[in-house]
Structure 1
């Protein structure tokens, strides 16, 4: 199997890395955090690079690319710990293109690709505990019109988004709807998240909604899996940079008249970190390559990948802080912000313990090794 990236994929990686290096340095990120954790101008720049339309067909204004290109982009954004939720554009583009009727596609895909509309997934509820099949939000139909009533938590950039993808129960079965933030009955309460980004609590009170698909659970599972693959790739980028700053610090910081990198015990710790990084990278590749697999196979793969990434994020993040000492947790030092981002990603789309449970429940007699 050929794991080399194509020339187009390498060029895409280079373009995103150059933008991160030149247009999203640590000082700009710090300013965005102070301003609330989301910058519409930055999101527009990402869209101008074509990134918001990665999973949207060319005839709808997108780039018509696939999961590997999405992985490449998210890795590079992770290296810059970019706050703006591009992963939500990948989710919205993939789900609307895959499940919505033609009228919804025509109305929204072009705007998502152009960055004119930020559509985010609003699915988490307080009682769900990461389970996608738990939903108390309800949908009601009057004539041909739908309305949604309920509440969703920790919605990425929820008070800045233009619309939401909302799972809700319609006659006892989960369906997926699109609700505009400006619609009647929609209220948001935004707040900063611990890594510097932005989220919101969103409430719907008989809010007008557009039906995306009546098979909401299937679409929601796919949406979450796109999010997991994106989170895994983003985490690899963050882990790469965490390793870089840790090794640089050990090569310059002196103790007892010599650099930290000269101590064998610490070199062994870095070797363990490198092993975890490469395990994480391989599982991120696995997740992206399985993103278009049949649903049951895809769900198993995402749980495995997210579990391994969670283990790696915790190990490398904590080891980096320990190797740095006190400076590793100061706000002035970039390493602490990588650690915060890893903590946030570990909790996104199901934490490590949840994913371990998913792996256990989906385990087969052959563990997937033999036919």
Structure 2
């Protein structure tokens, strides 16, 4: 079986990357950090572009594509750290009026953590008694619902886990690109630091983690097998968090500053890793399947 992207899939990825580059550039990212709230204008723009209706049938006003294409789109969202309950709203399109068009923001009670609760128009699952908690990621406000049992998200089930893993892959790719770009430009002892073997090894390891996770996520999008999705989530979480850490190391002291964007990828990766199917439960799923 040929797992390479087709021409239409490559065009979709290119188009989404250009769209997000226009709608959510670095200036918009920093503005969102300073004032974390769902940008309703951006949400409607995403809806108009078919982001949320990507998998709805064309006769229902959707784009008519499948889960593999959705994975490509969510990889691009992860690359730019697009904020908001994207997965829940995407999966609610077709069942929640206004979600497909981006007129409604939908969030979900998954592992007892509810992102963007105050901003959501619709909450899927019971959020009674939810209390605000301090989120490590300034772009993902969180509430905790006490007493919610650990379970796969009620919205989209395993598909929600897979799309979250796709976001992690996009973030891992962005961290790799940032590390390589800095290694080419930053000079020490009269040469670019990318010429030093230790830095080369860091960047190579980041690329390997990214591509391994990407392959697992894309393969799972074809099988939609829970065990394969759990394995893909494990690899994607590791790629996103480890790559962000290595990117910080490549950047040195400046990477730890608030002005740098590297820390935002690490913080988002930590949050995504816990929102849906944390590592311990993913490992149990894979072990049971083996």
Do they fold alike, i.e. is TM over 0.5? yes
Partner residue in 1 for 2:138: 196
Q: Is 1:38 paired with 2:38?
A: yes
Partner Cα distance (2:208, 2:190) in 1: 29
Q: Is 1:326 paired with 2:259?
A: no
Partner residue in 2 for 1:340: 267
Q: Which structure's CA Rg is the greater one?
A: 1
Partner residue in 2 for 1:155: 114
Q: Is 1:259 paired with 2:218?
A: no
Q: Identify the match of residue 111 of structure 2 among 120, 124, 128.
A: 124
1:84 is paired with a residue of what secondary structure?
coil
Partner Cα distance (1:200, 1:341) in 2: 12
Partner Cα distance (2:223, 2:138) in 1: 31
CA 1:32 to 1:220, structure 2 compared with 1: closer, same or farther past 3 Å? closer
Aligned partners of 1:13 and 1:72 also within 8 Å: yes
Partner Cα distance (1:357, 1:327) in 2: 38
Aligned partners of 1:44 and 1:115 also within 8 Å: yes
Partner residue in 1 for 2:22: 22
Report the structure, 1 or 2, having the larger strand content.
Answer: 1
Partner residue in 1 for 2:232: 305
Partner Cα distance (1:285, 1:243) in 2: 19
CA RMSD of aligned residues (A): 2.6
Query: What displacement does 1:200 show?
Result: 4.5
Partner Cα distance (1:193, 1:30) in 2: 17
CA 1:111 to 1:52, structure 2 compared with 1: closer, same or farther past 3 Å? same
Partner Cα distance (1:229, 1:348) in 2: 12
1:198 is paired with a residue of what secondary structure?
coil
Matches within 5 A, 1:1-371: 1-93=1-93, 105=95, 108=96, 110-125=97-112, 154-166=113-125, 193-201=135-143, 223-291=156-224, 298-363=225-290
In structure 2, the gaps of 5 or more residues are: none
Runs of 4+ in 1 over 6 A off after TM superposition: none
In structure 1, the gaps of 5 or more residues are: 98-104, 126-153, 168-178, 180-185, 204-216, 292-297, 364-371
1:114 is paired with a residue of what secondary structure?
coil
Partner Cα distance (1:244, 1:46) in 2: 25
Partner Cα distance (1:165, 1:290) in 2: 26
- Higher RCO (C-alpha under 8 Å, 6+ residues apart): 2
Query: What displacement does 1:19 show?
Result: 1.6
Query: What displacement does 1:360 show?
Result: 1.3
CA offset digits 1:196-215 (Å, max 9, x no partner): 22344387xxxxxxxxxxxx
Partner Cα distance (1:340, 1:163) in 2: 26
CA offset digits 1:249-294 (Å, max 9, x no partner): 1111112222111112221222222211111111111221122xxx
Aligned partners of 1:300 and 1:358 also within 8 Å: yes
CA 1:198 to 1:334, structure 2 compared with 1: closer, same or farther past 3 Å? closer
Partner Cα distance (1:21, 1:275) in 2: 25
CA 1:264 to 1:124, structure 2 compared with 1: closer, same or farther past 3 Å? closer
Aligned partners of 1:159 and 1:189 also within 8 Å: no
